[in-house]
Amino acid sequence: MHTTLTEHARCLWGDEYAPTPDCDVRDHHSMYFTEELTFADADEILAMLHALCPNVVDGFLPVWVRNLGYRLILLQRPDEPALMRAAAINLAAFGPSWDDISDDLRDRANALDPEGFVTW
């Protein structure tokens, strides 16, 4: 059985940096992972994203999981500029469908933290 969100994701999609764990779960469905992700706390989601996608455009984690993960993190921590910027970078890397959202997140982060101002 999976003990962490990262382990569950690694089991479903593999990991570019670590071996896929042995697993005795017979029915792997992304819907079970989605339920676990939906109710995970921000730290657990961030741990998964950092472990499986440390360089933004790498890893085997599907883009929809990355996007949903960042969305859920920002719902839990809506006023953290560093998280807004990380989400914006992720969206920009896998856009262009989300460029407007990415730009908005970057602008909000820059308004909250002018010293960390980012342009692209």
**Pick the residue with more confidence: 31 or 86?**
86
pLDDT at 105: 95
Determine the Cα–Cα distance for residues 81 and 67; give it in Å rounded to an integer: 17
Can you give the pLDDT at residue 21? 74
CA distance 23 to 12: 10
What CA–CA distance (Å, rounded) separates 95 from 89? 10
For residue 53 the two structure tokens come to: 């996608």
Q: How far apart are CA 16 and CA 57, in angstroms?
A: 12
Per residue in 60-92, pLDDT (tens digit) is 999 999 999 999 999 999 999 999 999 999 999
- Whether residue 105 contacts residue 87, with contact meaning beta carbons closer than 8 Å, is answered with yes
Q: Using CA atoms, how far apart are residues 71 and 77, in angstroms rounded to an integer? A: 10
What are the CA-CA distances from residue 112 to residues 81, 101, 107 (Å)? 6, 17, 9
Q: Is the pTM of this model over 0.85?
A: yes
